[in-house]
Chains A and B, each alone.
Chain A
Amino acid sequence: MLALCITALVFYFPANFFPVLEIHFLGSIRTTTVFQGAFAVFDQGYWVVGLAVLAAAVIGPGLLILSILSQILVVKWGLGSPFWRHSLKQLLKLQGLLSQLTMLEIYVISFLVSSFQLSDFSDIYFGMGTFCFTMLFLVTLFLQREYDIEHMWSLLMQGHR
């Protein structure tokens, strides 16, 4: 789990800040990143849409990975102190919300859809970010399969009894 978490973190930053799609149109080349995508909509005045995209594709996965990582660290070393126990409890309560917020699988499909849509007018190429984002999705998928919230709760409660 710790290994998966760190792998996911390694992929997280290039996935969000490397270009995911490249468009070649009449000689000019444009690239975009996941992050820019959310902000472009935001700038056009559609901040609801921008926020939704940002939350589901950037903030959600980031928080999810960080949350699981800190949970593992607390379980490993911090179960003794009351402060860490309390934070672990809060993190576990938020876990359901975070995993619902994370929509990486949908974003991966949307790469495909938008590249096909735009290939109508121009040439589309996938960038480095697409690879990283797909890897991020796969790693997070396995991470969520390994993760068992009931096990986490039982680890937290063991000290009490």
Chain B
Amino acid sequence: MKQQGKDLGLCLCRVCRQLNSSENTHCSRCEAELQVRDYSSLQKSWALLITAAILLIPANLYPITVLTNQGKVRHDTIFSGIIHLVHSDMLPIAIIVFIASILVPWVKIIGLATYLCAISFNLPISKKKLMVGFHIIEWIGRWSMLDLFVISLTVALVNMGQLLDAKPAPAATAFALVILLTQLAAKVLDTRLLWDRLEPQDDTN
């Protein structure tokens, strides 16, 4: 039988990762407030995740850039921008943009939803795999920012009126919020909740 820190009377500080005795109310090192488990974080995380999932719809449906090229105006959504890149023989760039702005947000939202479901509804999924997945999600989430950086560079660079002009469009805000909210959802969640919830079913994992 594996022992948990909770049973030994130990508690990890979420701010500085110092081990404390569970009797302390504040961390002995950084003086932040200690909580053995933060149950409310699950609800916060769900709320942020659902908001992000809703925002993902306008982020994909509305145009993200408006490009004027010699009088012709083109509205590009995230997806049509990638299609355009494929057609102009820039497959590697298209793949990078595809991963950063379509794959990563979807994987992140689905992955976090699985993770939260596993905690909320006691799904029998291996804890180890979930934890590895969670760390991957936390790390790849940053890469969605790529699209926003590209937009900001393009908009600043290309401003020649009717000849050639790029402007951001409504989806950019939605997309920025999706990134922000999913990162917050991952950050706010107390991952220690997972370790308790699955304990009765599979000790070996």
Contacts and interface: CB of A to CB of B under 8 A. Distances in A.
Interface in A32-82: 32-33, 36-41, 44, 46, 48-50, 52-53, 56-57
A37 B148 CA distance: 10
Interface stretch (B40-48, B89-97, B105-113, B127-135): B89-97
Contact of A26 (B29, B96, B163): B163
Nearest to A38: B152
A41 B151 CA distance: 8
A17 interface: no
Interface residues of B, number: 44
A40 B97 CA distance: 22
Interface residues of A, number: 48
Nearest to B88: A120
Given A48-B173, A92-B16, A53 B148 contact: yes
A118 interface: yes
A23 B157 contact: yes
A6 B175 CA distance: 35
A41 B157 contact: no
A106 interface: yes
Given A122-B164, A153-B18, A113 B172 contact: no
Contacts of A28: 160
Interface string A102-122: 010011011111101110111
Given A44-B168, A89-B30, A92-B30, A116 B149 contact: no
B8 interface: no
B155 A25 contact: no
Prevailing SS type, chain B contact patch = helix
Nearest to B169: A46
Given A52-B148, A92-B30, A110-B149, A44 B180 contact: no
Interface in A103-161: 103, 106-107, 109-114, 116-118, 120-122, 149, 153, 157
A9 interface: no
Nearest to B90: A116
A121 B142 contact: no
12 contacts: A21-B153, A23-B158, A41-B152, A41-B156, A53-B149, A106-B142, A106-B145, A110-B150, A113-B150, A118-B157, A120-B90, A121-B164
Interface of A: 20-21, 23, 25-26, 28, 30-33, 36-41, 44, 46, 48-50, 52-53, 56-57, 89, 92-93, 96, 100, 103, 106-107, 109-114, 116-118, 120-122, 149, 153, 157
Given A32-B153, A37-B155, A107-B149, 9 more contacts: A31-B157, A40-B152, A49-B173, A93-B15, A93-B16, A106-B142, A109-B96, A113-B96, A118-B154
